[in-house]
Amino acid sequence: MRLLIIGSLDGQIGAASQIAMSRGAKIMQADDVQAGLDVLRSGRGADLVMIDVKLDTKALIDSLAAERFAIPVVAAGVGNDAGAAVRAIKAGAKEYIPLPPDADLIAAVLAAVTEESHALVFRDPAMGRVLQMAEQVAPSDANILITGESGTGKELVARFVHRKSRRAGQRFVAVNCAAIPENLLESELFGHEKGAFTGAVARRLGKFEEANGGTLLLDEISEMDPRLQAKLLRAIQEREIDRVGGNQPVKVDVRIIATSNRNLDDEARKGTFREDLYFRLNVVNLQIPPLRERPQDIEALAEHFGRKYAESNGLAYRPLSEAARQALLRHGWRGNVRELENTMYRGVLLASGGEIGAEAIVLSGGPTEVRQPSPAGERSALVGRTVAEVERDLIIDTLSHCLGNRTHAATILGISIRTLRNKLKQYSQEGIAVPPPGDHERTAW
């Protein structure tokens, strides 16, 4: 992982960096907040920022948010300075590390940021065949399109390809095309010059330049605006990009991996996705089967998540009962691995006794389940209500069921994540309570 330390490397901060390096972290250092921001704008990137609590933690976090750097921040300071610790946490720091540094604490923070090292858990031959093909094509520089339903593990497969490629020693940079507003995605990808638009306070290199020499993942590329698709096509063809507000093209050497939960061949035929871009991306297509077609993976992943959430919640590991196992195998898994993870998280928390029983496995409706007609009483309860009211309650209830996970809820509802976020923003503005994002909203699945 890449750790950016903001503050002097003298004394205790320097000791913390040495511990981090011994745990495999690559260290960058900046003397103050402005210098730290310059490091990030330069495209060098970071997975975690550690700031000396003597510096202005709030100014750093506010600047990161304003410039859309989604990087966790931890503060470090003298252990008995309780006031500084409180101020740092209130400013938005994820953790406070007391100094002198404790090696185990540093290791725990690094492990939390690089949770599970993006490991793939699988047992089913269907997934094995996908990974065998991925490993075969990984050493080439061919662009790869990874397709599959939401939550099947497309980003994990992309990271697997990168680890098996000749670029493994270089950066893997991911961009979620569905999560970034259209008017900001161009700058996110290609960077911008100072003054290119309101808020462009300094030159910033985009993800193409950050990934130079490595791999760039364009997650859910089907959500990209057609105008931006044209600029992306040129970048792939010419191996050069134009920063927003710039007048000089910049050469880049990037291997592109794109993912989509839609059939891009169909989208191209409908005219919603550029056909020429589709052909450029689809040199190799890795199709990930849905979880319901990978029964052995259901069992392997259930055990994996059961152990993970037992440990993270300080609970003893409980195996699945036979009834619970059969319930998981019969389920339709529209949300795939992401849905299974949330199901097992609930199961770990709700279980009693020596096993996770069927009563602790709370399942949502899936395509393979047989649904009974709604009782007349339930139908009559809808009479007199507007469509908007019913839709709002359905969205809020589904989101609550998913423990606040926006991506999972959007999958179950059959709408895009952008549509869901727009609805939630509307409800919040209307004064309606909206469930907060789940703790595992950024899970790799």
Residue-wise DSSP of 135-177: HHHTTS---EEEE-STTS-HHHHHHHHHHHSTTTTS-EEEEET
Q: Beta strands 144-147 and 255-260: pairing type?
A: parallel
Q: Class of the 291-445 domain?
A: mainly alpha
pLDDT at position 393 is 83
Using CA atoms, how far apart are residues 102 and 97, in angstroms rounded to an integer?
8
Side chain identity, residue 382: L
Taking the whole predicted model, whether its pTM rises above 0.85 is answered as no
* The two structure tokens encoding residue 218: 């364009």
Superfamily (CATH H level) for 2-113? Response regulator (3.40.50.2300)
Are both 2-113 and 291-445 of the same fold?
A: no
The pLDDT profile of the chain, 445 residues, written as one tens digit per residue, is 788 999 886 667 777 778 888 777 788 999 999 999 999 988 787 888 999 888 999 999 999 888 878 788 988 887 666 788 888 888 888 888 887 777 777 777 766 665 544 668 999 999 999 999 999 999 999 999 999 999 999 999 999 999 999 999 888 999 999 888 877 899 999 999 998 888 788 888 999 999 999 999 999 999 999 899 999 999 999 999 999 998 899 999 999 999 999 999 999 999 999 999 999 999 999 999 999 999 999 999 999 999 988 987 888 999 999 999 999 999 999 889 989 998 999 999 999 889 999 999 988 754 334 334 444 444 545 556 677 877 888 888 788 767 777 877 787 777 877 888 888 988 887 778 788 775 444 444 4
For the chain, the domains span 2-113, 125-287, 291-445
Using CA atoms, how far apart are residues 110 and 118, in angstroms rounded to an integer?
14
Q: 424, 399, 336: which is closest to 154 by C-alpha?
A: 336
Q: What is the CATH number of domain 125-287?
A: 3.40.50.300
pLDDT at position 392 is 87
pLDDT at position 84 is 80
Query: Please, what sign has the CA dihedral across residues 296, 404, 319, 307?
Result: positive
Using CA atoms, how far apart are residues 297 and 302, in angstroms rounded to an integer?
8
Q: 329, 9, 353, 354: which is closest to 343 by C-alpha?
A: 329
Using CA atoms, how far apart are residues 165 and 271, in angstroms rounded to an integer?
33
pLDDT at position 108 is 73
* The two structure tokens encoding residue 82: 């309780």
Q: What is the DSSP string of 116-138?
A: GGG------HHHHHHHHHHHHHT
Q: What is the DSSP letter of 49?
A: E
Q: Token match 């009563």: residue?
A: 359
